């Protein structure tokens, strides 16, 4: 198993609460020599000492989503309500085919303070990436974004 696969597995265990943040920190420290070959020192430091939200934010940088979920819709804020509606239809289709599964908001995730609309969270059944779809509210047109 290569370093990225091992890291992905440990992050999956952490997300599933099969290991604690302290267990994850200990594994990272023990694996630092090999991990430092594939991640930057800043990311490695977040993995070694960060809380759950910092670890997950750093993992978003290191572990890319699969082509199935990343190609559903372009990531970012919507330019108008029609773009949101289009993305929502695509997400509904992806749920119907089993590519995405609706999940609750992870307890470690804190939405952007500028976010006005309600949010829903989805997990890719192929790679485990988490995505959020934020509904439009007032002048805000919503958002499709990978959480981790």
| CB 99, CB 126: distance < 8 Å | yes
The alpha carbon torsion through 33, 37, 41, 44 (nearest 10 deg) reads -60
Task: Give the per-residue pLDDT at 67.
Answer: 94
Task: Give the per-residue pLDDT at 39.
Answer: 92
Burial profile 4-29: b = 16 or more Cβ within 10 angstroms, e = fewer? eeebbebbeebbeeebeeeebeebbe
Q: Which two tokens stand for residue 28?
A: 């990272």
Q: Give pTM, 2 decimals.
A: 0.85
In the sheet that holds 143-146, the strands lie side by side as 76-77, 143-146, 130-134, 119-124, 100-103
What is the chain's pLDDT, residue by residue, as a tens digit (148 residues)? 688 889 999 998 998 889 999 999 999 999 999 999 999 999 999 999 999 999 999 999 898 899 999 999 999 999 999 999 999 999 999 999 999 999 999 988 888 777 777 899 999 999 999 999 999 988 889 999 999 8
Task: Give the per-residue pLDDT at 117.
Answer: 79
């Amino acid at each position: 198993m290569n370093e990225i696969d091992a890291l992905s597995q440990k992050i999956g265990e952490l997300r599933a609460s099969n290991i604690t943040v302290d267990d994850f920190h200990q594994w990272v420290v023990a694996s630092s020599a090999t991990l430092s070959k594939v991640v930057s020192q800043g990311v490695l430091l977040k993995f070694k000492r960060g809380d759950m939200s910092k670890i997950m934010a750093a993992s978003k940088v290191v572990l890319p989503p699969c082509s199935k979920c990343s190609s559903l819709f372009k990531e970012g804020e919507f330019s108008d309500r029609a773009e949101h509606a289009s993305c929502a239809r695509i997400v509904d289709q992806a749920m119907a085919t089993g590519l995405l599964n609706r999940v609750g908001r992870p307890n470690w995730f804190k939405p952007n303070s500028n976010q006005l609309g309600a949010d829903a969270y989805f997990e890719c059944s192929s790679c485990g990436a988490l995505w959020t779809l934020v509904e439009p509210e007032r002048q805000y047109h919503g958002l499709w974004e990978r959480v981790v």
